[in-house]
Amino acid sequence: MEKNQIWSRRIAFGALAFALLFLSASADDVVVLSEENFEKEVGQDKGALVEFYAPWCFSFFRFEPIAFFALCVTGMAAGTTKIRSEVMSCDSKGKDYTLGRCGHCKKLAPEYEKLGSSFKKAKSVLIGKVDCDEHKSLCSKYGVSGYPTIQWFPKGSLEPKKYEGPRTAESLAEFVNTEEGTNVKIATAPSNVVVLTPENFNEVVLDEAKDVLVEFYAPWCGHCKSLAPTYEKVATAFKLEENVVIANLDADKYRDLAEKYDVSGFPTLKFFPKGNKAGEEYGGGRDLDDFVAFINEKSGTSRDGKGQLTSQAGIVESLDVLVKEFVAASSDEEKKSVFTRMEEEVEKLQGSASSYGKIYLKAAKNYLGKGSDYAKNEIQRLQRILDKSVSPAKADELTLKKNILSTYA
């Protein structure tokens, strides 16, 4: 059996097994509708686009035909079990069953959130949603039989028009603009994720001076879409790190590259550190904190999820030991002796540690010249600056100094 058939079957069964775990996302800019407020919000002085969804509605991938035999979602014989006793039995009867795109609530959620955010200030438009699990009668009233169903309610009308177009924020916005006469654009935030192609892959990923995390994804992959916002936050958190790159590759479009690196499912994440450009599988968690901890450990960085330097940034253990001796020394002569040893230690350092070492030495000189209160006073001064609005690069510079000075305080 070919490799892609094997992983297709494996992921398909996994998707079925965990289908009930996929929850629909919510957003403050999308109005939550119910039997109580539907007619107060819809059919009034605004045109309304409404998504009818189910919180358990899940998203499958598009695969080549795979043998499904008599298994249903729970592994029982086809026809004996249904999801939430309402949806989908797998009438395979022992023949091959082609698993298509079945349900898109989770996939639609981030697009619908972007739509809601973009139309937030449009006074003539309401972007809303109805949980059909909670409000079955309301969904039944408007003929909803599958999820998600998107309907347009013109201003002053409760007679809907079903939306049949692509389920992207841009396409939905174009539809609403046409229906209501608005001119709202979907704002596209600049991305810090480096987009890879066959033309730049080797230049970016195989750069021996960089640690590179690569997501191999497919545009139709529901899990990839779910990961995208988190992955963007990871890229943003490390955007000031010159030797760290967060990148992605459309593995559906560039299959040869994906096969070269043994990609057999989506998303696949591989880490290409400075010392191993063959790539190593990332098997950690997929929350922001998981990615940040992984990069910090592998690359020697000290960032938090917001991209700010942690209190450990700039700290060099070998110099910390000497600083303790320096501060504890009872005379200036003893301090100068320790300072000489610090200079010798700094000469051994390389890379970013070498630049941190220079800050250690400058702090020691000022300590000798200005007294023991220097570090405490300087930390307070730097903190006052940090409390104001400063650029991320400047914040990094001041935080490094403050962290190193704290070893003298």
On the 0-12 / 13-18 / 19+ scale of CB atoms within 10 A, 41 is middle
Query: In the CATH scheme, what is the homologous superfamily, with its name and number, of domain 194-299?
Result: Glutaredoxin (3.40.30.10)
Q: Which of 72, 90, 139, 221 is catalytic?
A: 221
Mean pLDDT, rounded, of the chain: 84
**pLDDT at position 106:** 76
- Supply 144's token pair: 């909803």
Burial 12-30 (b: 16+ CB within 10 A, else e): bbebbeebeebebbebebb
Q: Which of 57, 72, 90, 139 is catalytic?
A: 57
Q: Which of 90, 105, 132, 139 is catalytic?
A: 105
User: Does the annotation count 105 as an active-site position?
Assistant: yes
pLDDT per position as a tens digit, 41-60: 999 999 999 999 998 765 43
Pick 104 or 62 by higher pLDDT. 104
With cut-offs at 50, 70 and 90, classify the pLDDT of residue 19.
very low
Residue at 280: amino acid letter: E
CATH 1.20.1150.12 fits 317-406, yes or no: yes
- Cα(11)–Cα(63) distance, rounded to whole angstroms? 10
User: Does the annotation count 132 as an active-site position?
Assistant: no
Is the pLDDT assigned to residue 100 strictly greater than 60? no
Residues linked to residue 125 through DSSP beta bridges, in sequence order: 47
pLDDT per position as a tens digit, 363-383: 999 999 999 899 999 999 999
Domain-wise residue ranges, the chain:
3-63+99-180, 194-299, 317-406
Domain 3-63+99-180 matches domain 317-406 at the CATH topology level: no
- Cα(285)–Cα(299) distance, rounded to whole angstroms? 17
**pLDDT at position 188:** 76
pLDDT per position as a tens digit, 216-258: 999 999 899 899 999 999 999 999 999 999 999 999 999 999 9
Is the pLDDT assigned to residue 107 strictly greater than 90? no
Pick 67 or 37 by higher pLDDT. 37
Burial 338-348 (b: 16+ CB within 10 A, else e): bbeebeebbee
Class of domain 3-63+99-180: alpha beta
pLDDT per position as a tens digit, 309-366: 999 999 999 999 999 999 999 999 999 999 999 999 999 999 889 999 999 999 999 9
CA distances 185 to 37, 86, 117, 121, 144, Å, are 28, 38, 11, 12, 29
Indicate the pairing of strand 244-250 with strand 211-217.
parallel
Mean pLDDT, to the nearest integer, of 211-220? 96
Q: Which of 182-196, 204-218, 258-272, 308-322 has the lowest mean pLDDT?
A: 182-196
